[in-house]
Structure 1
Amino acid sequence: MRAHNWIDLNQDADTGIETLRAHFEGHAYDPHWHDSYLVGVTEQGVQQFNCRRTRHDSVPGQVFLLEPGEIHDGHAPTVDGFTYRMLYLDPHWLEREICSVFEEAPAHHQLSFARTLANDPRLALATSQAFHSLHHSELRIVRQSALDQLLERLTGQLYWRMRYRDDPRLPRVAHKARDYLHAHLHQDIGMNELALACGVDRFRLSRAFKSAFGLAPHAYLVQLRLTRARRLLAKGEQPAAVAMALGFADQSHLGRWFVRAYGLTPAAYRKRCSNLPDS
């Protein structure tokens, strides 16, 4: 991490919600995704990122909203960098909690954000207040009240989207390759093996996959492993064990990819989420 970049991360014990406040100058992180809903506010500077095939420039006071699996990156286009605060909301927690203030989910639907950037001062305030109460471990009743206010404000940005088993907009071969990667994420998969499983040559597979998901198959596999690594590290698993379990060559190999995606080392992430010492 560059000398002027910093990350302050915490995790709420009751909800499992991660809270992060960070500052980056220049390149922040490579394209990656999370298995959480991300709700954040830009505090200072311009936060530039690509998501949904569009470049976004988030400025102070704007709220950025990302769904699980949405690929995004991060960059500071101005010399003073950018600072932001963000909440990582577990999908199961969000769907359960939102039902008390939002319409009941139709069958086979999932929550989706209507837009990636929102100009909503009340949502920005609710996001900041929820962040502060969780990040600084306020009284439980204060934390819950702040989250309730956030959920009420979020309803203006949410809708129920049909949960596709196979998205008809994407090539079937890309779906088949993605399913194969999920089923074999712990293995050392080669492109020839993946292409054989999908019934096409590897060049056509690579083009279809990148067109569908925005990443080449090898990059998608790395990101898939990183999301699993995040989950295991947050539970207190040791980085070396996580690297071995997920098919990374060693702990340093996991570390290099983890820093590029999230801006901090696996050990630092584990310590801040679990409060467990290194063994």
Structure 2
Amino acid sequence: MAGHNWIDLAQDADTGIETLRAHFEGHAYDPHWHDSFLVGVTEQGVQQFNCRRSRHHSTPGQVFLLEPGEIHDGDAPHEDGFTYRMLYLDPAWLQREITAVFEQAPTNSQLSFTQTLTDDPQLAQATSQAFQSLHTGELRIVRQSALDQLLERLTGQLQWRKRYHEDPRLPWAAHKAREYLHAHLHQDIGLDELAFACGVDRFRLTRAFKSAFGLPPHAYLVQLRLARARHLLAKGEVPADVATALGFSDQSHLGRWFVRAYGLTPAAYRKRCSNVPDSQPLA
């Protein structure tokens, strides 16, 4: 990590929720996405990021909310950088817990945040308290109480939206390409192969895919592999094995992409999530 950047990451054993506190100066991370719901609070400075085709500026006390799959980046527009704390909430866990509040989810629906940034001070406090109790390993009853308070405040920022197997607003070819990438994420896929599977030429496919999902197919495939790498590393798998399993050329190749997206190395992420001792250099 460059300059005075730092990251402090942990994972709660009971819920699987990751907690992260970090500070960045200048460029923080490249466009990427997570398969978790992100709930965070900016502590210091201004956090600038692009999401939902808009540029946002999160200032101290503001809560930022991102859904699984939402592409976002991060930069510090001022010299003193920014500091934030974040919770990564597993979608299955959140939906299970939140249905106790909403009673019953509408048919064929999924959870969605109503906005990306909010000035709700009670939600900011609940987020910070949940972070603190999980990150420091408080008693189970304390952690559960803090999460209940967070869920209670979070309901004001959540809604149910209709779930589509194929979103009619997006081109069919883009959906087909995304399905193909998910099914073959371990393979060395070429654009010609992908275009042939979708029945269009690669130029039209690239334009349609980027319009639909915000990234060209090759960048989406990298993000897909990185999301899978996080899961494997958190389970304690060795970075070199993860790199091989997911189609990266070697451990260094995985490491370069991982740092650009998440700000820390695969080995460091593995160590902090799984508490498995390092048996090899960081990469």
TM-score category by the smaller chain? Answer: over 0.9
Q: Deviations over 1:128-161 (max 9, x none)?
A: 0000000000111110000000000000000011
Match of residue 70 from structure 1? 70
Instruction: Give the counterpart letter for 1:88 in structure 2.
Output: Y
1:99-248 to structure 2, matched below 5 A, reads 99-248=99-248
Match of residue 18 from structure 2? 18
Q: Deviations over 1:54-112 (max 9, x none)?
A: 11000000000000000000000011100000000001110111112224111211110
- Structure-2 separation of matches of 1:79 and 1:205: 40
Q: Counterpart of 1:99 in 2: which secondary structure?
A: helix
Match of residue 39 from structure 2? 39
Which 5+ residue runs of structure 2 have no aligned equivalent? none
Deviation of 1:263 (Å):
0.2
Which 5+ residue runs of structure 1 have no aligned equivalent? none
- Structure-2 separation of matches of 1:139 and 1:101: 24
- Structure-2 separation of matches of 1:206 and 1:145: 47
Q: Counterpart of 1:100 in 2: which secondary structure?
A: helix
Match of residue 7 from structure 2? 7
Contact 2:3 2:25 in 1 (8 A): no
Instruction: Give the counterpart letter for 1:99 in structure 2.
Output: T
Identity of aligned residues (%): 84
Q: Counterpart of 2:84 in 1: which secondary structure?
A: strand
Deviation of 1:212 (Å):
0.6
- Structure-2 separation of matches of 1:232 and 1:257: 16
Instruction: Give the counterpart letter for 1:164 in structure 2.
Output: Y
- Structure-1 separation of matches of 2:103 and 2:269: 36
* CA RMSD, Structure 1 to Structure 2 (Å): 0.6
Instruction: Give the counterpart letter for 1:278 in structure 2.
Output: D
Instruction: Give the counterpart letter for 1:20 in structure 2.
Output: L
Q: Counterpart of 2:101 in 1: which secondary structure?
A: coil
1:49-88 to structure 2, matched below 5 A, reads 49-88=49-88
Runs of 4+ aligned residues of structure 1 deviating over 3 Å after TM superposition are none
**How high is the TM-score relative to the length of structure 1?**
0.99
Deviation of 1:3 (Å):
2.5
- Structure-2 separation of matches of 1:103 and 1:263: 38
Q: Counterpart of 1:101 in 2: which secondary structure?
A: helix
- Structure-1 separation of matches of 2:36 and 2:255: 21
Instruction: Give the counterpart letter for 1:147 in structure 2.
Output: L
Match of residue 267 from structure 1? 267
